[in-house]
Amino acid sequence: MMKSLPLYIYILCVSLLCSCSVNKFIPDGSYLLDEVNIESDTKEVNPSQFSSYIRQNPNAKWFNLVKVPLRIYCISGKDSTKRINRFFRNIGDAPEIFDEEIALKTQMEIEKAVRNMGYMQANVSMNKQIKKKKLKLTYDIAAGNPYMVKHIAYDINDHLISDIIEADSIQSYLYEGMPLDVTILDNERQRITKQLQNSGYYKFNKDFIVYQADTIRNSRLVDLTMKLLPYQRRKEDLPTPHQRYTIRNVNFLVDNDIARVDNNFTGYDSLSYKDYHIYYKGKTYLRPGTLVDFNYIQPHELFNEQDVQNTYSSMGRLRALKYINIRFDELADSDNQLDANILLTKGKDKSLSFEVEGTNSAGDLGAAASVTFQHRNLFKGSETFTFKVRGAYEAITGLEEGYENDDYKEYGIESSLNFPQFMFPFLSSEFKSRIRATSEVGAKFNSQLRPEFTRTLASASWSYRWTDKIRSQHRLDLLDINYIYVPWKSQTFTEYLENLTDRNSILIKSYEDQLIVKMGYSYTYNSANNPLEAKKRRNTYSIRVNIEESGNLLYVASKLVHDKPKGNSGYEIANIPFAQYVKGDFDYAHHFNIDNRNSLVFHIGMGIAYPYANSQMLPFEKRYFSGGPNSVRGWSVRSLGPGSYKGADGGMNYINHAGDIKLDLNIEYRTYLFWKFHGAAFVDAGNIWNIHEYEGQEEGTFRMKTFYKQLAVAYGLGLRLDLDYLILRFDGGMKAVNPMDSGKDKYPFLRPRMGRDFAFHFAVGYPF
């Protein structure tokens, strides 16, 4: 009976959703908008590019298949005063009743858009197919032939502006033989406007550029002429030539209330620094050098709009500032000169935060708390200093006899100092201002006291981050030192390690002292600047590449001092073995927007790490693992692989499920459900492998002939709660192909069992 219960629930839900009637919510003479399509008779006019013009869309479909929200709404009765009816209406989607007026506006907008592409005689018609109370609407585009530009001429009476435009003509969007596309023509106006604004023309805008199009008789060929209009502030003003403006003074106004600033700077103290003027009250909270280094507007230079935007972007990275506003004042007593006033508002420089969290590790309950202090202007250069203290406690159950205590304690201290520019000796101020970088030094100390052992982790780091383009980000870990110290292991735990039947070297190495001195570089590229742009674009993708190495410099230094290491354990620094390896990762994700409610995402992640010379095995912290909310979701975290390795019983089994090579392949269909909920259907594949063959893990070694047979496959459904600032994710995965089993059990997809094959995951953010 219990086995049949899920089937009964499924049948009940299907019957409930299918039996409800939509017609009772559709007034007489009206129709449910069931489907909207756009079709074109011309290959060059792609229907998909006009989907944004549709003002009325049919009810949403879950996974583009079933209109579940509509069915939920229809469960409710007509009496809206009843609470149960209001509930179903709130979580459901009201029927979309076809509106003739809205459809006609959509028709006109699509027709206008097609004509703006150069198809001046285009016509858009509506085709309605009615079946009972449902209506399918199709917009048919009859584009015809486009008008083409035969010849391009320029009517520009200002020789200086003409020379500026001609000097950059290779970047022009216009060319002979192009269609008479209004969008392309407007893009050219904006390009020239930007070019002139960057060449001193402070008051120039695109309305001063117009086109004249003359058609050739009995043809669709056009002679196009670009004209430059003279400057007029108002229609009644006399036309005058366009003027170039020069920056006379650059003034920094450092005050808490920029709204009360007057042009005479009355009541301000002042100082001069490198031809810049700084006005303040009391004392400055930012060094003059910092203000100048993060500013791009230069005195005695032509006005440049790009310098203004660069200054906004650069100073926006100064966390000591709350607001930045740049105002230009035209000087009445001088010819074509401007004063640039950079108004700055101070932000809150100190903060103290507390964080409390509960933990649950395999049923062992605990709690953790942390206190964080942050100073965002430590040396008056917008340096951010962070200091954090953390403590955690967990009661451990199920321990064998022989342990002195039954709890877990953790203490940690970490600090970091972040500089808003590239901090390195011998670098010029020009280079620092050109590279938008941050530098960070940090230190961390963590002590773990468990019944089995005591372990201390100490680290220090020196890193840089910078962007060379809007979509590209770089990170350089110049130096990252990690020291793992295990001063004590209980007798019972020591005997456990010594008596392992397979002499598992992975487990033993995880509880030995080790030094890791590494360098690394990572590169990230995202084709969309921000999440909002990603939603608007049809295709976006991201790439992440990471390379790191450890121990090479220490190995060379040790080799110079001692030709061979003492014993067979490798070289040591202060009697501490150091790790030597090279590691590389590649991650690619492609996001395809089907429409504004549905999307498809592909992801591939690969990684390989190779220990050599002074290391026979990677440090445990640097090894890969598989399974979990961001990997193959049919397995829990650290429970899959390597290869077809099953693992042994015991509490330390998660350490064995680690490898030197990783492969993740994912595909996920995402759809909007209702309110702030989104759904997903996914298929995952992947595994991890070892490069070397370890005793007891022979089936986990990577072999080209067999690795594809060891790929694990999972499928499942997910629910996402999008809170705008935070995305909560719930995923349920089922095993489809299990490489750790053989025979019929290798393919649980054929005979699924919830208790054996299901894994539930809770995470924050999307998996990729």
Question: pLDDT tens digit string along 623-665?
Answer: 999 999 999 999 988 889 899 888 765 445 566 788 999 999 9
Query: 79 burial class (0-12, 13-18, 19+ CB within 10 angstroms)?
Result: exposed
Burial of 441 (0-12, 13-18, 19+ CB in 10 A): middle
Write down the domain spans for the chain. Answer: 21-142, 148-228, 246-346, 362-764
Q: What does the pLDDT average to over 299-306?
A: 96
Q: How confident is the model at residue 607 (pLDDT cuts 50, 70, 90)?
A: very high
Q: What is the pLDDT of residues 419-448, one digit of tens each?
A: 998 888 877 777 777 778 999 999 999 999
| pLDDT per position as a tens digit, 519-565 | 999 999 998 876 666 566 778 999 999 999 999 989 998 888 887 87
| Arithmetic mean of pLDDT, 679-701 | 90
Question: Which of 150-164, 687-701, 729-743 has the lowest average pLDDT?
Answer: 687-701
pLDDT more than 70, % of the chain? 90
Domain 246-346 in the same topology as domain 148-228? yes
3-state secondary structure (DSSP) of residue 684:
strand
Distance CA 579, CA 576 (A): 10
Cβ atoms of 417 and 379 within 8 Å: the answer is: no
For residue 100, give the 3-state DSSP assignment. helix
CATH class of residue range 148-228? alpha beta
Q: For residue 535, what pLDDT is reported?
A: 65
Compute φ and ψ for 208, nearest 5 degrees.
Answer: -80, -5
CATH number assigned to the domain covering 362-764: 2.40.160.50
Q: What per-residue confidence (pLDDT) applies to 261?
A: 52
Axis crossing angle, helix 68-75 with helix 83-91, rounded to the nearest 10: 170
Between CA 350 and CA 429 the distance in angstroms is 28
Residue 81 pLDDT > 60:
yes
Local confidence band at 568 (pLDDT 50, 70, 90 cut-offs): low
In tens, the pLDDT along 141-188 reads 999 999 999 999 999 999 999 999 999 889 999 999 999 999 999 999
**Distance between CA atoms of residues 484 and 641, nearest Å:** 26
CA 541 – CA 524 distance, rounded (Å): 11
When the candidates are 3.30.70.120, 3.10.20.310, 3.20.20.370, 3.20.20.60, the CATH number that belongs to 21-142 is 3.10.20.310
- Distance between CA atoms of residues 616 and 693, nearest Å: 11
246-346 CATH pick, 3.30.70.1520, 3.10.20.310, 3.30.420.40, 3.40.50.300: 3.10.20.310
Collapsing DSSP to helix, strand or coil, 177 comes out as coil
Residue 283 has a pLDDT of 83
- pTM for the model: 0.83
Does residue 3 have a pLDDT over 50? Answer: no
pLDDT at 452 over 90: no
d(CA 596, CA 538): 10
User: Could you give the percent of the chain with pLDDT greater than 90?
Assistant: 54
Confidence of residue 506 (pLDDT cuts 50, 70, 90): low
Q: What pLDDT was estimated at residue 259?
A: 46
Higher pLDDT, 284 or 469: 284
Confidence of residue 86 (pLDDT cuts 50, 70, 90): confident
Q: Is the pLDDT of residue 736 over 50?
A: yes
Spatial contact of 661 and 689, defined as CB atoms under 8 Å apart: yes
Q: Is pLDDT at 299 greater than 80 in this prediction? A: yes
Side-chain half-sphere exposure of 384, counting CA atoms within 13 A: 17
Q: CA 97, 101, 105 angle in degrees (round to 5)?
A: 115
Instruction: At 586, list the tokens.
Output: 């590649």
Integer distance in angstroms from the first to the last C-alpha of the chain? 40
Contact by Cβ (8 Å): 35, 60: no
Dihedral, 743, 747, 753, 754 alpha carbons, nearest 10:
130
Residue 491's pLDDT is 81
Q: Decide if pLDDT at 8 tops 50.
A: no
Provide the pLDDT for residue 498. 72
| Mean of all residue pLDDT scores within the chain | 87
Task: Average the pLDDT over 465-479 and give the result.
Answer: 89
Q: Is the peptide bond before 425 cis (omega within 30 degrees of 0)?
A: no
Range 278-291 average pLDDT: 89
Residue type, 345: T
pLDDT-derived band at 405, boundaries 50, 70, 90: low
Please say whether the beta carbons of 689 and 710 come within 8 A.
yes
Q: What is the pLDDT of residue 567?
A: 66
Query: Looking at residue 650, what is its pLDDT?
Result: 45
Please determine, for residue 730, whether its predicted confidence score (pLDDT) is greater than 90: yes
Picking from 710, 658, 712, the residue whose alpha carbon sits closest to that of residue 684 is: 712
Average pLDDT over residues 238-254: 93
pLDDT level of residue 611 (50, 70, 90 thresholds): very high
Q: How many CB atoms sit inside 10 A of residue 542's CB? A: 18
- The confidence score (pLDDT) of residue 105 equals 96
Among 90-99, 221-230, 312-321, 414-423, where is mean pLDDT lowest? 90-99
Average pLDDT over residues 409-417: 95
Confidence check: pLDDT of 307 > 80: yes
Is 376 or 434 the better-scoring residue by pLDDT?
A: 376
DSSP assignment letter at 2: T
Q: How far apart are CA 374 and CA 223, in angstroms?
A: 64
Distance separating alpha carbons of residues 148 and 223, to the nearest angstrom: 9
Classified as helix, coil or strand, 720 is: strand
